[in-house]
Amino acid sequence: MTAQRLLDYIEQMEKAATSALSFAAGMTRHDFLADAKTQMAVAMSFVILGESVSRILAVDPHIEDNHPQVPWMKIKGMRNLIAHDYFELELDVVWKTMQEQLPLLVSQLRDLRQIHAQGE
C-alpha cells in the first residue's frame, strides 16, 4: 500500500461529499425532488464516494477495522444501488443521507486524512 494513494482516495471522497453538499446548497427537499439536474449531480457524487471506498479497501483492507466510524460498506452499498438500480432510487433517501450523513462524513474524512498524512 502506498500512503499517498490512500490519501488521494480519501481526498477524492471528501471532494465528492463536499460537491454533493454544494450542488444542493440552499435547496429545500422540495426543490431537490423537483430538480433532476441536481439529483443526478448528487447521485454521481455518491457513485464517486463508493468507487473511492472500493479503491481504499483495495490498498488498505484493514481500514474498515481501524476506522469503524466511517460507514465504508454503507457508502459502497449506496454506490451499488445508484449504479445498478438508478431507476429504483428513492430520492428521499438520497436527500436525507446528504443532509444528515454527508456533513459528518466530511468531518470524518478530514480527520482520517490528517491521521494518515502524519503516517499512522
> 27-48, pLDDT tens digit by residue?
999 999 999 999 999 999 999 9
Q: Are 75 and 33 in contact (CB under 8 A)?
A: no
Residue 51 has pLDDT above 60, yes or no: yes
Question: Looking at residue 1, what is its pLDDT?
Answer: 47
What burial letters (b/e) apply to 41-58, b meaning 16+ CB within 10 Å? ebbbbbbbbbbbbebbbe
Q: What percentage of the chain reaches a pLDDT higher than 90? A: 85
pTM value is 0.92
By C-alpha distance, which of 19, 27, 71 is closest to 43?
A: 19
Residue 76 has pLDDT above 50, yes or no: yes
Q: Are 20 and 46 in contact (CB under 8 A)?
A: yes
Residue 115: pLDDT band with limits 50, 70, 90: confident
How far apart are the C-alpha atoms of 111 and 108, rounded to whole Å?
Answer: 5
Average pLDDT for the chain: 94
How far apart are the C-alpha atoms of 56 and 21, rounded to whole Å?
Answer: 22
pLDDT tens-digit readout, 81-109 = 999 987 888 999 999 999 999 999 999 99
